[in-house]
Amino acid sequence: MRRSISFMLNGKPVQLTVDDDRMLLWVLRYDLGLTGTKFGCGAALCGSCTVIVNDEAVRSCITPVKEIAGKRVLTIEGLSTNGHLHPIQEAFLNHHAFQCGYCTPGMIVNAYALLLKKAHPTREEIIRHMDDNLCRCGSHTRIVDAILEAAGSTKGGA
């Protein structure tokens, strides 16, 4: 159904008139021009499209916009504030925790969701939380190290 939907996007109010069955991924990328959130599978199998809705990581490729009405949405574009990278972004940068970079926004955003819930996760908790985010380049080992660093957890976890 086409209707007006309002939500908070990266801290700013947004109002859109859209078919409310459409998936958030496409609305973000093409209606709102936020292309940092990526398409990888369209079926909640890869995590490239991960965004935060009210502090929870969701797969925007299977999230209809009607479900986010009145909620807070955070995407990779909203992570750095006033030109300052978020500590998770800093850590990804320092560890070079990416190669092609295509999975990276989804990885960073999903890691952000983890740290919201658990400030100092162990290596095992990180692996469990990140397991449904796929990376074909094989950056996994650096991604885990980057998240550990961002969380200030001791290297190697508990």
Residues lying near other proteins in the complex (CB under 8 A) are found at 19, 22-23, 26, 29-31, 33-43, 45-46, 48, 75-77, 79-80, 85, 89, 92-93, 96, 98-105, 108, 126-128, 130-144
If one asks whether residue 137 binds ligand FES (CB under 6 A), the answer comes out as: yes
Within 10 angstroms of residue 45's Cβ, the number of other Cβ atoms is 13
Shortest Å distance, C-beta 101 to other proteins:
3
CA atoms of 142 and 146, how far apart (whole Å) = 6
Packing angle of the helix pair 87-95, 104-117 (nearest 10 deg):
130
Give, as ranges, the residues between 6 and 65 that touch ligand FES (CB under 6 A): 39-42, 44-49, 59, 61
Identify the three-state secondary structure at position 73: strand
If one asks whether residue 78 binds ligand FES (CB under 6 A), the answer comes out as: no
CA atoms of 111 and 11, how far apart (whole Å) = 19
Of 28 and 148, CB closest to ligand FES: 28
Closest CA to 61 of 83, 43, 88, 35: 43
Give the interface with ligand FES as residue ranges (CB under 6 A).
39-42, 44-49, 59, 61, 98-104, 135-137, 139
